Structure 1
């Protein structure tokens, strides 16, 4: 469990620099934008690797906290439908991005909440609860920070069509194959 927690500290910690120390982040970018990006990527990848390793180890000896009713899986599957659409939305600006404001944070919140609805071990609570709490805190902090621009395609309603088609295709691939291959659990079995 310690490996999972260390991974969360590294991954969510580096993703929280703008929340807790934006001037520090801005100074690091001013010194070397590429250096900041490389450090950010390295810490994120290390944190993600530790999260995956720690979560996999914790699943071998689960500490059950609660058991969800069977129908909750259907609710979780429904909540997950727009996650890939929202996760891609900042890179394809259109109505979806405009309405949600910060669609990737909405995607993280939906992803984490849906997994908390159906997974009741201590490791699940730590993993998905941490991501949910981080996304809520980040969204609140964004109200006080100036937005940074992303390299994107021009805004268009076509982007929304592309997002919906691509997002639902990714959802289908994930639930039918990738989730089992990557995580070892088939969502609909």
Structure 2
């Protein structure tokens, strides 16, 4: 469990610096240059991600049950993930009408992903992992809202063609189906379809 917690601290910590010290991030990036700053940021993020995956895998060897989610919540979680992937598709593609409406679709995707997995998993490692990501995404969304207009937050993109919305939703649905039918079990070792 300690490796998982350390990974969360490293990964979410590096992603939280902009939340708590946006001016410091801007100064550091200006001092180092954009390329080197992003390189360090990426390396630290990767280390945190590896620790999360490793720590979560170790925690699954001896899970600590907190509650047993009913099957209905597992089905609900499977359905919610479709919306998470559609928000991810909207984030990935150029702006149509939905991206400006959603404002920050990546954060929406993370919040839905985390909530869905909290509903479907009742052991301590999952509660810590998905609860941490949900809390971070909520904090980051509040922070982004405060930073927009001060030069520290991502600007809301202008509306584009509705064709990008259609393409984004198709990308999200395809990613969802691939994850649902093949990738989740291959990567995580657990089939996501509740039976």
TM-score range, shorter chain: over 0.9
1:142 is matched with: 144
Find the aligned partners of 1:119 and 1:95 in 2 and give their Cα distance: 34
Unpaired runs of at least 5, structure 2: none
2:130 is matched with: 128
1:6 is matched with: 6
Unpaired runs of at least 5, structure 1: none
> Which residue among 150, 168, 173 is the counterpart of 1:168?
173
The normalised TM-score by structure 1 is 0.94
1:21 is matched with: 21
The answer (yes or no) to whether the contact 2:118–2:130 under 8 Å persists in 1 is yes
Q: 3-state DSSP class of the match of 2:71?
A: coil
Q: 3-state DSSP class of the match of 1:64?
A: coil
Find the aligned partners of 1:186 and 1:92 in 2 and give their Cα distance: 32
Q: In the alignment, does 2:49 pair up with 1:44?
A: no
How many pairs are equivalent? Answer: 188
Question: For the aligned residues, what is the CA RMSD?
Answer: 1.7
The answer (yes or no) to whether the contact 2:115–2:134 under 8 Å persists in 1 is yes
- Shift in Å, 1:143: 1.6
- Shift in Å, 1:149: 5.4
- The C-alpha deviation readout for 1:87-134, integer Å capped at 9, x for no partner, is 232342112212111111111010000000010000001000000000
- Shift in Å, 1:45: 0.5
Find the aligned partners of 1:60 and 1:131 in 2 and give their Cα distance: 22
Q: 3-state DSSP class of the match of 1:185?
A: coil
The answer (yes or no) to whether the contact 2:7–2:52 under 8 Å persists in 1 is yes
Q: In the alignment, does 2:192 pair up with 1:187?
A: yes
- The C-alpha deviation readout for 1:8-37, integer Å capped at 9, x for no partner, is 011101111110111111012112111110
Q: 3-state DSSP class of the match of 1:97?
A: helix
Find the aligned partners of 1:5 and 1:107 in 2 and give their Cα distance: 22
The answer (yes or no) to whether the contact 2:4–2:55 under 8 Å persists in 1 is yes
The normalised TM-score by structure 2 is 0.91
